[in-house]
Chain A
Amino acid sequence: MYLQRLPRSFNVSHEITPPFYTDHFLFAEELQQPYECPEFPAAIGLLVAAGGECQYRVNGTRYPVGDGQVFFVNRGSPLQVRVTGKAVMPALLFFHSRLPDLVQFSLSYGGEVLLEKPFDSLPFDFSYLERLHSDAALRQSVLSLIELGSSCSSFASLQADSQIRDMFESLLMRNQEAYKHSQNIQAVKASTRLEIFRRIAAARDWMEANYSGDINLEKIAAVAAMNSQHFLRMFKQVYSITPHQYLIDIKLRRAATLLESGEVTINEVCQAIGFESPFSFSVLFKRRFGVPPSQFRKV
């Protein structure tokens, strides 16, 4: 991986195709003055920000990216970066141009078939990932590459490469899962299906990030920019459960993680995940994991 400062332009020769990166490139810089670069066709990458919010304009839509958020940009999507705040650090990680296809191919076919099959069906479609993801861990992982990129640690660049590969494998598995879910949407046009999926998935990500707060169907639907009844129908079509059931599941999964840490009481778990009644929590928990919370912790 190469760590570089933000260039004045990512596309000095005004190419209409995305640049071919011969390695992973991380462009990051803490800005002391406003920054704006002309629109350019992006390579596959992750866009994050530290120290404040950064405006990434992708396919004509402006996405403010801040704490806990990551934007996955697809190959060829027009991208523009704009930062007005001081001490904000945009970080744009563009993957090695061949890596996404190679990893996707190996995930799809496994080692043995990989040797026999030609790469004639590449490149694969990554459009199901192209959206704003609420994923604090992924954002942190990208930001930690800045430290690795300038580190004097022995084999730091190999560590960075291996971290990027793991990151990308996990993203691709998400892409495959997303594609499967999107096929549940009853829409005639593929582009409509993709747009509906992106909105529903963004709302789901938002639920993951805000599950413990005061949220209701209207608020979640607003994230998807949909009417609440339409959102409810679409969410159920995509994930085969209602948003409410999904929200409960997020809380129960989080509760299980807290119980595994073994340092919290059941009342504290209820508070942390936004459950008012310990009794109903215990009932739902047992239904989900087969054992009551007290027993789960012992196991």
Chain B
Amino acid sequence: MANQLGADFSEFKLRVNIKTPIENVYRAWTTPLGMESWFIGKLVYIDRNGVERSKEEQAQEGDEYALSWHHTPDQVGMKGKVLKANGKNLYSFLFSKGFPVTISIYTEHGETICELIESNLPTDEESVRMHFVRESKGWIFYLANLKSVLEGGLDLRNQNWDIKNVITR
């Protein structure tokens, strides 16, 4: 839904260029091992039969996931569902309060682009501040970290738990 200025707060799109093959980016999103190397914390994918996938196994459509915050790895912080996983370059899942996040991976000018769209966000003033602003800020750091980890192996996430209130986790 567009507001008077024409801005659409019901979704946001973020793109990051990464010098790595498409399959590496896809794996970084769809395997627990990949996600844990750059994202929030521990991640588990559960298949349709309720069986936990291995760390290297790729998530499939219909899987559910459980994500833990780094400081409480034994506690589930967020649950969601995998909406699409084509095994190549398209991956979509429910995030936050059930908002769909779609990851498209493609090539542009010789580099791999990872494009993230979070959609169906509520557009009242409070929700825009909460979801459009805060969640896009969260994704910006993590997408930068994805690039850093995949290109050079440098993990930008804060590892010093005494330090709080920093964008790096």
Contact = CB atoms under 8 A, between A and B. Distances in A.
A151 interface: yes
A147 B130 CA distance: 16
B38 to A, nearest CB: 12
Interface in B112-162: 126, 130, 134-135, 137-138, 141-142
Residues of B contacting A: mostly: loop
Interface residues of B, number: 21
Task: Please tell me the size bucket of the interface on A.
Answer: 10 to 19
Interface in A132-178: 147, 151-159, 161-162, 166
Given A147-B165, A159-B69, A154 B141 contact: yes
Given A162-B78, A166-B75, A155 B40 contact: yes
B51 interface: no
B165 A153 contact: yes
B165 A154 contact: no
Interface in B65-100: 69, 75, 77-78, 96-97
Contacts of A161: 97
A132 B37 CA distance: 43
Contacts of B109: none
Contacts of A162: 69, 77-78
B168 interface: yes
Nearest to B97: A161
B78 A158 contact: yes
A159 B164 CA distance: 13
Of A2, A22, A151, A162, most buried by chain B (CB within 10 Å of CB) is A162
A23 interface: yes
B51 to A, nearest CB: 16
A158 B141 contact: no
B77 A157 contact: no
Nearest to B124: A22
Contacts of B134: 155-157
A80 to B, nearest CB: 26
Contacts of B15: none
Given A151-B164, A162-B78, A157 B130 contact: yes
Contacts of B141: 154
Contact of A158 (B75, B138, B166): B138
Interface in A200-244: none
B14 interface: no
B126 A2 contact: yes
Contacts of A159: 69, 77
A160 to B, nearest CB: 10
B169 A153 contact: yes
A158 B96 contact: yes
A154 B158 CA distance: 11
Contacts of B77: 158-159, 162
A154 B138 contact: yes
Contacts of B166: 152-153
B1 interface: no
A156 B164 CA distance: 11
B78 A151 contact: no
A161 B78 CA distance: 9
Given A156-B134, A157-B134, 10 more contacts: A2-B126, A23-B130, A151-B165, A153-B166, A154-B137, A154-B167, A158-B96, A158-B138, A161-B97, A162-B77
Q: What 6 A-B pairs come out closest when comparing CB atoms?
A: A155-B138, A154-B138, A162-B77, A154-B141, A151-B165, A157-B134
